[in-house]
Chains A and B, each alone.
Chain A
Amino acid sequence: DTAVSQTPKYLVTQMGNDKSIKCEQNLGHDTMYWYKQDSKKFLKIMFSYNNKELIINETVPNRFSPKSPDKAHLNLHINSLELGDSAVYFCASSPNRESYNEQFFGPGTRLTVL
């Protein structure tokens, strides 16, 4: 009964490949997020969706494209992977878009680009 789940947990791939990371939450939340944690453990917001609508779109390369088929799912597709994309990607959710809410984080997906 995991609250926020991500697949895969580990992803190792070659430069230039296209890959996707999936996220699902079973908390009934309206808002979902993607964060990137770099090798120095710095966390930064990438995207946020509220009820399938994109509400935050930080300055990230166009190679990154989020997709929310329904409010329980938020996937991240990455085209033409580069070495610098290696990081841990965290999905999170919150009850709604109000900023006082706790965000619930998934276990992370460690992406390694060779």
Chain B
Amino acid sequence: AQSVTQLGSHVSVSEGALVLLRCNYSSSVPPYLFWYVQYPNQGLQLLLKYTTGATLVKGINGFEAEFKKSETSFHLTKPSAHMSDAAEYFCAVNLPQAGTALIFGKGTTLSVSS
């Protein structure tokens, strides 16, 4: 069975600091990997995803993530945090077969202080 672990339910950074949100997965086969962001009282929006190819993936709003198969990780980073980055971030996996659904981690709340 697949599972996703997001280390740190709450991460606080200062504006301009590096953002690092951790995600590790467990899967019987290499899954597809996703990061979604949820702003307060809104739906989820895709930041980036890894399916195949280059393991360093760039997404929207300056975020990027690197798929490391040996570490079963897909950590999300941003070099310089902005106040507008404060939100809930979800890592998710999906099996590489049709007709399956996203399995989400428990989420990480990112707070950004000035």
Q: Do A and B bind each other?
A: yes
Interface residues of A (CB under 8 A from B): 4, 33, 40-45, 48, 50, 55-56, 58, 90, 92, 96-100, 102-103, 105-108
Residues of B within 8 Å of A, CB-based: how many? Answer: 27
By a CB distance below 8 angstroms, the chain A residues around B101 are 33, 45, 48, 56, 58
List 16 interface pairs A-B (beta carbons < 8 Å), by A numbering. Answer: A4-B43, A33-B101, A40-B106, A41-B88, A42-B104, A43-B102, A43-B104, A48-B101, A90-B43, A98-B98, A99-B94, A99-B100, A100-B32, A103-B44, A105-B44, A107-B41
A6 to chain B, nearest CB (A): 9
In this complex, the member of B97, B98, B101, B107 whose beta carbon has the largest number of chain A beta carbons within 10 angstroms is: B101
Contacts A41-B107, A42-B104; A97 near B99 (Cβ below 8 A)? yes
Interface residues of B (CB under 8 A from A): 32, 34, 36, 38, 41-46, 49, 51, 88, 90, 94-104, 106-107
Name the contact of B32 in the complex, choosing from A43, A90, A99, A105 (C-beta under 8 A): A99
Residues of the A chain whose Cβ atoms lie less than 8 Å from the Cβ of B97: 99
User: Do B43 and A56 have beta carbons less than 8 Å apart?
Assistant: no
B102's contact among A42, A97, A103, A106, by CB below 8 Å, is which?
Answer: A103
Task: Output the nearest chain A residue to B103 by Cβ-Cβ distance.
Answer: A45
CA–CA, A44 to B98, complex, Å? 18
- Cβ-neighbour of A108 out of B43, B45, B90, B102 (below 8 A): B43
